Amino acid sequence: MLNVEYTNIDGLLLIKPEIHKDHRGSYTEIYDSEKYRDVLPHVSFVQDDYSYSKQNVLRGIHGDSQTAKLISIVYGDVFDVVIDNRPDSKTYLQYQTFNLSRENAYQLFIPEGCGNGMLALSSEVVFHYKQTSHYEPGIQFTIKWDDPRFNISWPISNPILSERDLKGDY
């Protein structure tokens, strides 16, 4: 059974899958098209990806106008930020933060036009995402992680960044 919570950003969903625990560990189903069809009836995923990050790596804040994502953490703990970058949205330029981990198994459904960034809090993180469109170079936006318009309270002040994330292009 899926527990779905609406967030402060229009179309952004926090999904809490059921976790089955016993003396051996735990089992969590992270996607079943029939169950998710009830939650996301008009969504069709076409590509799955994952990234591996070391502690203090900050990836993002990235997005584009055509790709929705379902993200989850396979291993580790992250501080995740989602920013609404849709000019016609009632929640335009609002953001929300989440603590996601293998332990809580929380997922985020991030609608098209929203940017996502994650900071690896644990020594290692495996970040999984399903996408509704295939990767297309050159169409993504990057909002700088420390953009003063948002004043995001990241848990660290000196993250490890790529050149793209250091500069931003928004």
DSSP strand pairing (124-131 vs 69-75): antiparallel
**Residues marked as catalytic:** 62, 129
The verdict on pTM exceeding 0.85 is yes
What was the pLDDT predicted at 170? 58
What was the pLDDT predicted at 33? 93
Number of domains in the chain: 1
Q: Rounded distance, CA 47 to CA 132, Å?
A: 7
Q: Rounded distance, CA 48 to CA 145, Å?
A: 24
What was the pLDDT predicted at 140? 94
What was the pLDDT predicted at 121? 98
What was the pLDDT predicted at 169? 80
Along the chain (170 residues), what's the average pLDDT of each consecutive run of 10 residues? 93 96 95 93 96 97 97 98 98 98 97 98 98 93 96 97 87
**37 CB contacts (<8 Å, ≥6 apart)?**
none
What was the pLDDT predicted at 141? 96
What was the pLDDT predicted at 119? 98
Q: Rounded distance, CA 34 to CA 127, Å?
A: 23
Q: Range of 14's domain?
A: 3-167
Please report, for the domain that includes residue 40, its CATH number.
2.60.120.10
